[in-house]
Amino acid sequence: MGSIQNFVNQMDWDALIRLIISAIACLLCITVHELCHGLAAYRLGDPTAKNAGRLTLNPIKHLDIVGLVMMLVAKVGWAKPVPVNMNYFKNPKRGMALTALAGPLSNFITGFISLALLSLMIHFPLRSLPNTVLSLLVSFLASVTIFSIGMGVFNLIPISPLDGSKIFFSFLPDRIYYGILKYERYVMIVLVLLTFFGFLSRPLSFLINGVLRGYCAALDVPAQLFGVM
């Protein structure tokens, strides 16, 4: 019992709570991102995601452990890709581009909504709630904002298999387009390594901070709250 008590006493509970809040925020961003991919494909005539049970708000269905860890560590990441069958689209390349765009777009919208709620809390404080609860809500909304913007920006990079590549490559000739798709899994390995070792940190931070500053200016939220000047 003594060793257990010592462990409990030495535990950094604040850090643990921040980690849990960040993990929940990540799961929300991931779920929204992949659900919107699936919904876009479904609206365009592809039932593959629906048949695979991916049109759901259950985050476990969309979870990629490596992508989640990268979001927690590097503030950018990914989820388990929603299955898409381009053959169902009337215009396969256009359908794939619209399906790909739905994910990052949903993240930018989610980030804007979460920051709007945070702005309301700043300008119209909920004095009836305990300070601890208010602090947790602020931390959660701030995390959702950061992770949403980070996921949206990262996935718009025009490198296969990220969403940006599906959008950008849709303007290429079919021979080149379908040729690139064959090597997605290998490029993904390189992309993970580049992200993990920080080679993309500076350009991604510049873009994320730029979007965040724009959101903060539009919603009258101090950018300093996020450590952005």
Taking the C-alpha atoms of residue 104 and residue 157, their distance in angstroms, rounded to an integer, is 10
How far from 137 is each of 110, 120, 122, 126, 223, CA to CA, in Å?
Answer: 16, 12, 11, 11, 18
| Size (the chain), residues | 229
50, 67, 69, 94: which is closest to 162 by C-alpha? 67
Q: Which of 25, 28, 33, 34 is catalytic?
A: 34
Longest CA pairwise span in the chain (Å): 69
CB atoms within 10 A of CB 228: 15
| Amino acid (one-letter) located at 175 | R
Known catalytic residue: 184? no
First vs last C-alpha separation in the chain: 48
How far from 152 is each of 38, 128, 180, 227, CA to CA, in Å?
Answer: 16, 35, 22, 20
Are the CB atoms for 142 and 118 separated by under 8 Å? yes
Taking the C-alpha atoms of residue 212 and residue 192, their distance in angstroms, rounded to an integer, is 24
Catalytic sites, residue numbers: 34
